[in-house]
Structure 1
Amino acid sequence: MPYILILYYSRTGATEALAKQLARGVHRVAGMEARLRTVPPVSPDTGSLPEIPDAGAPYATLDDLRECSGLLLGSPTRFGNMAAPLKYFLDGTSGLWANGDLIDKPAAVFTSTASLHGGQESTLLSMMLPLMHHGMILIGQPYSEPALTRTRTGGTPYGVSHWAGEDAGATLSDDETTLCHRLGERLARLALTLSHSGDTAHGTGA
């Protein structure tokens, strides 16, 4: 079955909480699955890192990315940018770029911050840049989503976000959760539509 890759890095669990709610949204679309994957921390002694995480999602491979129908990319904010482990993984995707493996696949981004004005929007925008180089189709949150104008926590038109607060909490607000579900569902529907469109263009459609 085709799947949406939900690829993220999470240190305290807040970004992981977003990823899990996005997966719920993806699963609302019949014929599309969600595949949760993370990346290992950046370490000067990478050889000592386990091949499989002790808990949570498995580490992503390039094949996970190559074979996905769409991508949801998530990171906590680090000085208004994505975290180094996720950037490190993306820096290793030049082979996919050279082959055009991700061209015309839909993608969206998500983030979490400890402070409300701690760089959510700049992080989301910076995460879009490598995806644009890969030729992906970027989508955001339309203002037809009532939660986007109602939220008093996270939520941007550039992608879903979470305001964790000083305690870096992983508990999402109702509006943040709703926006996760809606974005996951929207991306999955678009991926399914594009997939069917591609089948028809190649003479394999119904």
Structure 2
Amino acid sequence: MTAVPVEILILYYSRKGSTAAMARQIARGVEAGGAIARLRTVPPVSAECEAALPAIPDDGPPYAAARDFSDCAGLILGSPTRFGNMAAPLKYFLDGTSDLWLSGGMIGKPAAVFTSTSTLHGGQESTLLTMMLPLLHHGMLLLGLPYALPELSSTQSGGTPYGASHVSGTGAEPRPLSREETALCQALGKRVAQTALRLQVTPA
């Protein structure tokens, strides 16, 4: 009997590219953990009520759809911080997942979170914690980063036990991920993938 491929949904919003760079490293970790990474993003929120965007972004991964959730065996959620909370586009998207909540489609699946801030004390941990709340309501199993990872103790930039993080800086060009940040992103993806494989959650 052929094993059903295990897919991990990496869903994120990125405005300047730092969160997207993290998502790509997390995807590498997912694949190193033996699963398939499915990268998806969400559209920005417009102040114009009738504003419309094309169904497919000009660049980067496609916008997320309901099927991405039903297909996945795990979810890794990412956002830049906005005043210590997730960005509005991601929150808006999650607010529209009540049908998924009613069906119980995400119950028992592993989940994790990641974020990027421009400054070292820019609200990383509060953002990660608030991103966990809707995942708990969906009945997911939350995973963080254990201190067995040496980069968690040696990092001078991003990296928390609550999830992967990055300090992008305040310059015109975002600062690239540090060695420690990259390793922690990959470790997070690998941990979710390996947990999903152990749980063998069958997609709905």
TM-score range, shorter chain: over 0.9
Q: Indicate the residue corresponding to 1:38 in structure 2.
A: 41
2:82 is aligned with 1:78 = yes
Q: Which runs of 5+ in 2 are unaligned?
A: none
Q: Indicate the residue corresponding to 1:137 in structure 2.
A: 141
State, as a whole percentage, how many aligned pairs show the same letter.
Answer: 63
Cα deviation, residue 48, structure 1: 2.4
Preserved contact between residue 12 and residue 170 of structure 1 (Cα < 8 Å): no
Q: Indicate the residue corresponding to 2:70 in structure 1.
A: 66
105 and 170 in structure 1: CA distance in 2 versus 1, 3 angstrom threshold: farther
Instruction: Pick from 108, 115, 120 the counterpart of residue 119 of structure 2.
Output: 115
How many residue pairs match? The answer is 197
Q: Indicate the residue corresponding to 1:187 in structure 2.
A: 192
What TM-score, normalized to structure 1?
0.92
Q: Indicate the residue corresponding to 2:174 in structure 1.
A: 169
Q: Indicate the residue corresponding to 1:2 in structure 2.
A: 6
* Poorly superposed stretches of 4+, deviation over 4 Å: none
Cα deviation, residue 67, structure 1: 1.8
28 and 166 in structure 1: CA distance in 2 versus 1, 3 angstrom threshold: same
Cα deviation, residue 66, structure 1: 2.1
Preserved contact between residue 13 and residue 170 of structure 1 (Cα < 8 Å): no
Q: Which runs of 5+ in 1 are unaligned?
A: 199-206
Cα deviation, residue 132, structure 1: 0.1
Preserved contact between residue 15 and residue 170 of structure 1 (Cα < 8 Å): no
Preserved contact between residue 17 and residue 170 of structure 1 (Cα < 8 Å): no
Per-residue CA distance 1:7-56 (angstroms, 9 max, x = gap): 000000000000000000001123x1000000000012454211110000
